[in-house]
Amino acid sequence: MKKIVILGAGTGGTIMANKLRKELSRDDWEITIVDKHKTHYYQPGFLFIPFGIYKEQDVIKPKADFIPSGVKLIFNEIDRIDPENNKVILNGGQILNYDFLIVATGTKTSPEETPGLKDELWYKEIFDFYTIEGAVALKEFFETWQGGRLVMNIAELPFKCPVAPLEFVFLADEYFTKVGIRDKVDITYVTPLPGAFTKPRATKMLGDLLKEKNITVIPDFYLESVDNKEKVIRSYDGKEIPFDVLTIVPVNKGDDLIQRSGMGDDLNFIPTDKHTLRSEKYENIFVLGDASNIPTSKAGSVVHFASEVVFKNLMCSIKGRKMRAHFDGHANCYIETGFGKGSLIDFNYETEPLAGNYPLPGIGPFGLLQNSKMNHYGKVIFRWIYWHILLKGKELPVESEMSMAGKKK
């Protein structure tokens, strides 16, 4: 009996468990998936919680509901991977041997990396919205806030879902307008990037939108520390920005188990071949999604597209053939822009987000780099698609490889 072990039962691990169990004979292949948490979070939904659009129960379901029968599901902390000996060691000493390993342990926020961040104002006037706890605490804070300086800061690159902080300030603009205190709320977007986004055309489109909504952008700000007494954030080159409430994307790191296994880079992300998605060092280890160091967005859409490539290349490897599938870095992100509208960007390693239609060229229904109601509906309906189609590894009418059809250069 041969063995595949999947570490992490988030978006990537769950998709792989479903795809692999359908493909591989139960007589020949044992598939095991390990995760420390029993709850599956629909993470794109966290963004809506501070504004009362979603509640906690809208974004959670038991992980076990999405793992197919015939896959062994273990809830336990993973101590480490021993890649030289093809073993995973769980807490308590249980050992899982594998022929192939898929690491899909994701990324997590590490507020403790920034001095003063997880201090006396944490979850009082300083919040993240990348955890359910942070999103819920922020909702409670916003419910009675009287206004002041709202600062949205990104601590470090890369970070999960790079459009989320933009969506956050757009939704905050709408929320405080509707509450009737927008004139008392000063919104500032503070980023280590040279502009609103990384690529020129998207940066322009989003930069214009921020301006239109009276949101100030402070670029090239690399966070050193948070001062809880003075209520300012400081950069390494001595710039200070005062806040009344700070919402932050803390430093993102790969799981600590990657460090314990000696397999990560400075931020515990695993060096991975960006085209084959196989570990650079180990031929029987694939890395799916946020856990890898590939130079594209850390986002669910990327995991979804990448899972096709990991699946195909794993099949080639099992058969002892050369890997054929080639990941292009495809990412596709809906961007909520407030007041019932949204935008959409579609890009890969080589091509920046361009204007056009998606997924059907010339038809859409979604407009790339446009601000429309239809794009917002796309985001709304996506939650249903996520739970019912995507996690189960079923086919969606979108290609894993980015297409130039329907795009304007």
Give the footprint of another protein on this chain (CB under 8 A).
156-159, 162, 192-194, 197-198, 220, 222, 224, 236-237, 265-267, 293, 295-297
| Alpha-carbon span 8 to 72, nearest angstrom | 13
Nearer to another protein, 27 or 237 (CB): 237
| Alpha-carbon span 360 to 357, nearest angstrom | 6
Q: How far is the CB of 157 from another protein (least distance, A)?
A: 6
Nearer to another protein, 192 or 207 (CB): 192
Nearer to another protein, 164 or 215 (CB): 164
Q: Which residues of 23-56 are buried (b: 16+ CB within 10 A; e: fewer)?
A: ebeeeebbbbbbbbeeebbbbbbbbbbbbeebee
Q: Give how far Cα 24 sits from Cα of 20, 63, 202, 320, 324, Å.
A: 6, 22, 42, 15, 19
Helices (H), 242-364: 256-260, 300-318
Nearer to another protein, 63 or 160 (CB): 160
Nearer to another protein, 149 or 199 (CB): 199
Nearer to another protein, 16 or 206 (CB): 206
On whether the CB atoms of residues 254 and 269 are closer than 8 A, the answer is yes
Q: How far is the CB of 163 from another protein (least distance, A)?
A: 9
* Cis omega (within 30 of 0) for bond into 359: yes
Q: How far is the CB of 242 from another protein (least distance, A)?
A: 21
Q: How far is the CB of 193 from another protein (least distance, A)?
A: 6
**Host H or E run for residue 235:** strand 232-235
Q: How far is the CB of 238 from another protein (least distance, A)?
A: 8
| Alpha-carbon span 311 to 17, nearest angstrom | 10
| Alpha-carbon span 364 to 122, nearest angstrom | 43
Q: What share of the chain is helix, strand, coil (3-state, %, to 5)?
A: 30, 30, 40
How far is the first Cα of the chain from the last one, in angstroms, to the nearest whole number?
51
Nearer to another protein, 23 or 265 (CB): 265
Q: How far is the CB of 221 from another protein (least distance, A)?
A: 11
Q: How far is the CB of 325 from another protein (least distance, A)?
A: 22
Q: What is the largest CA-CA distance in the chain?
A: 66
Q: Give how far Cα 320 sits from Cα of 45, 97, 276, 310, Å.
A: 41, 20, 15, 15
Q: How far is the CB of 366 from another protein (least distance, A)?
A: 21
Nearer to another protein, 156 or 244 (CB): 156
What single DSSP character describes residue 250? P
Nearer to another protein, 60 or 193 (CB): 193
Dihedral of the alpha carbons of 276, 281, 284, 287, in degrees to the nearest 10: -50
Q: How far is the CB of 160 from another protein (least distance, A)?
A: 10
